[in-house]
Copies of this chain bind each other. A is one copy, B any other.
Amino acid sequence: MTELFDFVGGGVASSSPLVGSDTEPTIFELSVPGRKSSSFRNSGVDLLDPASILESRFLRSEEVDLPEVSERDLVGHYTRLASRQYSVDMGAYPLGSCTMKYNPKFADSVAGMPGLNRVHPGSPDELVQGWLELLVMAEEYLCEITGMQAATFQPAAGAAGELTGLLVIRAYLQHTGSKANKIIIPDSSHGTNPASVTLSGFDVVTVPSDESGLVDTDALAKVLDGSVAGMMMTNPNTLGLFEVKITEIARMVHEVGGLMYYDGANLNAVLGISRPGDMGFDVVHSNLHKTFATPHGGGGPGSGPVAVSGALADFLPGPKPCRLSDKENEFGWYMPPRSIGRVHSHFGNAVVVARALAYMVYNGSDGLKMASDLAVLNANWLKASIADYYEFPFDGVCMHEFVASALQIKKETGIRGLDIAKSLFERGFHAPTVYFPLIVEEALMIEPTETESPQTVRALADALIDIAKRAHDPETKDALHDAPTTTPVRRLDEARAARNPKLIF
């Protein structure tokens, strides 16, 4: 080939291995000066030169350096990237605390309805009656499910819900004249809880778990006094265990004037079985992206509505959608009289709420209970299936998930929880959550969810057992250290990423 053919540069080829075994170049490497995908409507409006109207001190001298790619290469690039990504639609995803259940496709149809997704948030009430009704309906469902009286859909995710709920507690206590400033958190709690407590201006007090993995009520009793604004828990807790003393705990906290905050990350265990309100909680956030099956999108968007008891309703963020009391089927906005104010630029992740409502309506009271029933059954059955091979730091029936420990295996064989997780990829499964909760060494936090069949749960058990067996066999052990080998990339040098961060191309 003559050199005349060698000019090609400034962009690599968009060729692709079928199954993603090669590295995909970045979109910037695919860029070639002058190439383009976009085109614009012929609007008939004359194009003006901003420089002819605006002062030059405002204007860029160069265009933003975006990639220049053809639509064909754009499509190839992101299609190949998608082929390098595991997902629920690909297979089981037993990631504890994350409730990676099946996300129904009909919800995508809902999200795609122009009557929902082409609505401007600044539209006057008369034009958005459907949206207002939808949000009110979702509130009614959510309150019934959680045993609460009123809810806000403004928080965009669980953590935002936590902060919102804590600010509501704060406002309520302030209103009652309380100066309490401590929030109690179990040591098994999720990291967002203490972070939210700090952001809401409270101090964190951690209570330990007892030998059964539950809140140590004696220890709790010791920290309870008038300075306690409330306690934040999830139930079942992050070990997957139901806090059997929950009503007592609630009573104890209430007695010193504190409020009970429910982190709804584990609500999928108790739909129609035990409502946070009945347990004694005053504030509940739900992760719609977990319990109500809105897809997680690689990390979001979610939705973290906060539901509260009647006493706290006046403090919720506003404006809130409401039924107009005078007219049966008309809806409007309302500002709770002692509202903490807005916590979202608009009304929360509205379309995510629409998906969740569709899911709730589809399941109904019977389907929701059945979802929790089978989530719990699957978890207990999986736990029992692997009981001869893995340790469980805490005894007893679990709820929708459980925590196993690879500590013994590690001691005996050197194979760590991480090796087990990575070895699962090669066997066709996503890994469980590892090294959380922090109170269990070599934790493997496993949540099969209700949408996996007994066949899948069984195959997952077999994979876990196979790994445990191989860990004990010197001949097969090393392969576990080397895992995964079938994935697009293998174990990463994470230290290097943090030492010398390269965060942009």
Contact = CB atoms under 8 A, between A and B. Distances in A.
A1 interface: yes
B70 A453 contact: yes
A429 interface: yes
Nearest to A35: B453
A20 interface: yes
B486 A91 contact: no
Nearest to A460: B15
A464 to B, nearest CB: 11
A292 to B, nearest CB: 16
A461 interface: yes
Contact of A15 (B18, B83, B456): B456
Contacts of A115: none
Contacts of A71: 102, 104-105
A86 B18 contact: yes
Interface string A327-362: 000000000000000000000000000000000000
A384 to B, nearest CB: 7
A32 B455 contact: yes
A10 to B, nearest CB: 8
Contact of A18 (B14, B105, B461, B486): B486
A226 interface: no
Contacts of A21: 19, 486
Contacts of A17: 426-428, 486
Interface string A64-90: 000000111101100110010011011
A435 interface: no
A496 to B, nearest CB: 24
Contact of A384 (B5, B102, B105): B5
Given A12-B455, A388-B1, A83 B90 contact: yes
A479 interface: no
B15 A428 contact: yes
A22 interface: yes
Interface in A1-37: 1, 5, 8, 11-22, 30, 32, 35
Interface string A471-494: 000000000000000111000000
B19 A488 contact: yes
Interface in A413-437: 425-429
- List the number of copies, as a whole number: 2
Contacts of A13: 453, 455-456, 458-460
A452 interface: yes
B22 A465 contact: no
A377 to B, nearest CB: 13
Contacts of A130: none
Contacts of A73: 453, 456
A387 B18 CA distance: 27
A198 interface: no
Contacts of A143: none
A35 B426 CA distance: 28
A455 B8 contact: yes
B16 A19 contact: no
Given A5-B384, A5-B385, A458-B13, A70 B451 contact: yes
A89 B102 contact: no
A415 to B, nearest CB: 20
Contacts of A79: 87, 89-90
A5 B377 CA distance: 13
B455 A11 contact: yes
A92 interface: yes
Contacts of A16: 90-92, 428
Contacts of A20: 19
A454 interface: yes
Interface string A94-133: 0000000010110000000000000000000000000000
Contacts of A455: 8, 11-14, 30, 32
A467 interface: no
Interface of A: 1, 5, 8, 11-22, 30, 32, 35, 70-73, 75-76, 79-80, 83, 86-87, 89-92, 102, 104-105, 381, 384-388, 425-429, 451-456, 458-461, 463, 465, 486-488
14 contacts: A13-B453, A14-B92, A14-B452, A15-B456, A17-B426, A18-B90, A18-B91, A18-B487, A19-B486, A19-B487, A21-B486, A71-B105, A72-B102, A72-B452
